[in-house]
Amino acid sequence: MFDSIEKLEDVCLKDFCTFKIGGIGKIILFPKNVLELKSVLKECKNNNLKYFILGNGSNVLFPDYYFDKVIISLKNFNVVKVIRQNVVYAESGVNLFALNKFLADNSLAGLEFSFGIPASVGGFVYMNGGAFGQEISNFVLRVKIFENGKVKWLSRKDIDFQYRHSGISGIILGVELKLQSGDKKNIIKKQQENLAIRKENQPYNKFSAGSIFKRENGCIPAKIIDTMGLKGVKIGGAEISKKHAGFIVNNGDAKAIDVIALIQFIKHKTHMNFELEIVVLA
């Protein structure tokens, strides 16, 4: 099965997520193009196999046990190019560091807010990622998806972008982004400033999946968690970051059950049913 597709079997899932948590995954596939992706999805359907689309693994919590879903990595979808003045097309597997370098090299400004976020383009668009008061949806013209066996384009007005939400049901293949002309030196300077802010205010040197909870209706979970004095609380190898209460970090030996228990602990202590920003597969 999947004989013609690049694959890895019985893999350590810790190596495929920024949390560095997870058991053994049955198989990870790395299709190189839409035809291979279509073939993979067809085989999954014909064999009644469930699958999970993986970007850079920056907001995923894998289970501690054997994970038997087919994992489809889009890392080979890594083309980024200027298609017309100030408009860039980036495939879903391009990581944000690579995208930001490309934009700086081409003197295109606008996405400096995303510099330092260890996400892929596809995942960032899917969750409408953002920072410093900006979101990726502010720059989206169209999104290319694969759905029901066909490649489709969704225009910005047809996508239900909300805070950390897009509502896109198909598999994101790529996105057209509208940027502004800028000065390369100024773009790089702003990127580095944003990275410095992240390193100062977030547990950047710790394994994590970014913010655990979404903000809702003006409610900022990190502030509530901080006010309750919960920074530094540990369960197993998982800890509420001492640096930023919105993060749960892996001190090196955390398990998924530790993170889940800490999430439940936070909800119990704060009496708040915060919505998760991360994807929990455990």
Mean pLDDT, range 73-97, rounded to an integer: 98
Kindly state whether residue 112 falls inside one of the protein's structural domains: yes
Mean pLDDT, range 78-83, rounded to an integer: 98
* Number of domains composing the chain: 3
In angstroms, the CA 116 to CA 128 distance is: 16
Among 30, 50, 73, identify where a domain stops. Answer: 73
Q: In this structure, what CATH number is given to the domain that contains residue 49?
A: 3.30.43.10
Question: Are both 13 and 67 inside the same structural domain?
Answer: yes
Q: What is the pTM of this model?
A: 0.94
Question: Are both 167 and 210 inside the same structural domain?
Answer: no
Question: Are both 116 and 180 inside the same structural domain?
Answer: yes
Kindly state whether residue 191 falls inside one of the protein's structural domains: no
Pairing of strands 279-280, 60-61: parallel
Mean pLDDT, range 35-58, rounded to an integer: 96
Question: Are both 171 and 242 inside the same structural domain?
Answer: no
Kindly state whether residue 192 falls inside one of the protein's structural domains: no
Kindly state whether residue 224 falls inside one of the protein's structural domains: yes
Among 41, 73, 105, identify where a domain stops. Answer: 73
Mean pLDDT, range 124-142, rounded to an integer: 97
Determine the pLDDT at residue 207. Answer: 98
Mean pLDDT, range 111-120, rounded to an integer: 97
Q: In this structure, what CATH number is given to the domain that contains residue 128?
A: 3.30.465.10
Q: For residues 139 and 111, is the Cβ–Cβ distance under 8 A?
A: yes
Q: Is the pLDDT of residue 282 over 80?
A: no
Question: Are both 17 and 54 inside the same structural domain?
Answer: yes
Question: Are both 216 and 151 inside the same structural domain?
Answer: no
What is the Cβ-side half-sphere exposure of residue 177, based on CA atoms within 13 angstroms? 30
Question: Are both 67 and 128 inside the same structural domain?
Answer: no
Question: Are both 89 and 179 inside the same structural domain?
Answer: yes
Question: Are both 240 and 179 inside the same structural domain?
Answer: no
Residues spanned by the domain of 37: 7-73
Kindly state whether residue 242 falls inside one of the protein's structural domains: yes
Question: For 163-182, what is each residue's pLDDT tens digit?
Answer: 999 999 999 999 999 999 99
Q: In this structure, what CATH number is given to the domain that contains residue 266?
A: 3.90.78.10
Among candidate residues 79, 102, 98, 103, the one with its CA nearest the CA of residue 89: 79
Mean pLDDT, range 27-36, rounded to an integer: 97
Mean pLDDT, range 240-251, rounded to an integer: 98
Kindly state whether residue 195 falls inside one of the protein's structural domains: no
Q: Mean pLDDT for the chain?
A: 97
Cα torsion angle, 172, 206, 19, 216, sign: negative
In angstroms, the CA 29 to CA 96 distance is: 22
Q: Is the pLDDT of residue 218 over 90?
A: no
Question: Are both 208 and 166 inside the same structural domain?
Answer: no
% of the chain exceeding 70 in pLDDT: 100
In angstroms, the CA 270 to CA 240 distance is: 14
Determine the pLDDT at residue 93. Answer: 98
Kindly state whether residue 134 falls inside one of the protein's structural domains: yes
Determine the pLDDT at residue 1. Answer: 86
Q: For residues 148 and 55, is the Cβ–Cβ distance under 8 A?
A: no
Kindly state whether residue 69 falls inside one of the protein's structural domains: yes
Question: Are both 104 and 172 inside the same structural domain?
Answer: yes
Question: Are both 167 and 263 inside the same structural domain?
Answer: no
Determine the pLDDT at residue 252. Answer: 94
Among 73, 91, 111, identify where a domain stops. Answer: 73
Using CA atoms, how far residue 203 sits from 39, 61, 156, 232, 248, in Å, is 40, 17, 34, 12, 9
